[in-house]
Amino acid sequence: MRAWPLLVIGTLAGFSAPVAAAAERPIVVELFTSQGCSSCPPANAYLNELSQQRADVLALAFHVTYWDYLGWKDPFSLQTATDRQARYGQRFGDGSYTPEIVVDGSSGLVGSYRDDVNKAIAKARSAITTEADVRVVAKDGKVSIDIGAGQGAAKVLLVGFDREHVTPIGRGENRGRTMAESNIVRSFRPVADWRGAPVHIDQPRPDGEEIAVILEAPDGHIVGASRASHPGAS
């Protein structure tokens, strides 16, 4: 498909621990990809590296459905991924294509252009917008979400994703390849609206080995994000 910076100064009047914690949120990097797309493996490999090497990035692989009719049905494709990319395409005015990476909901780039994406991540980090602290706990088949006080409004998005899958591709453009892919989104759904006041949300655990929560502002930009902690059995 084709804010100001938060300055943290310890002596600043009104400084609070929740604001400092919110400032540390990861930059959200969304890759729109498909196992049926021959140009996607380099972007997949890049996302794998981000997921394994960058704690300051929440890297998510959204497998779209529109390649499923061209020789290989991607077992991880989701209509919600296709719909999400279509909304970005309407905002950015460049339609849907693979591989595409969207950084913090604000810019769409060719997913295999590492230099461009790295620059976009650095830009997002230097001008990060974080409207509220987000804390997520997954335990005993449930997810507990706490969002602190802040400015503005956002949709609360619950994401379930798998750490890694290795798939032999039997047909289509990648026939004969074995693809290792990380942080594959298995479920993605809105669970609440946040309007500036603190809120607590309980949800059933979504599909996926790992869990994250994203705050998405009405204009589509990401303004909060956190991975779940897993105390005890989950």
Q: Considering its fold, how many domains does the chain have in total?
A: 1
Question: What was the pLDDT predicted at 47?
Answer: 98
In a domain, 10, yes or no: no
Residue with the larger pLDDT of the pair 233 and 44: 44
Instruction: Determine the Cα–Cα distance for residues 58 and 46; give it in Å rounded to an integer.
Output: 13
- Taking every pair of Cα atoms in the chain, the longest distance, rounded to a whole number of angstroms, is 61
Output the domain CATH number for residue 62: 3.40.30.10
200 Cβ contact list (under 8 Å, min separation 6): 144, 145, 146
In a domain, 8, yes or no: no
In a domain, 11, yes or no: no
Q: Quick: pLDDT tens for 118-136.
A: 999 999 999 998 999 999 9
In a domain, 9, yes or no: no
In a domain, 5, yes or no: no
Q: Quick: pLDDT tens for 170-220.
A: 999 999 999 999 999 999 999 999 999 999 999 999 999 999 999 999 999
Sign of CA pseudo-dihedral 64, 167, 31, 42: negative
Type of residue found at 184: I
In a domain, 12, yes or no: no
Residues found in the chain: 234
Domain that holds residue 198: 17-229
In a domain, 76, yes or no: yes
Question: What was the pLDDT predicted at 1?
Answer: 36
In a domain, 7, yes or no: no
Closest CA to 74 of 160, 145, 153, 174: 174
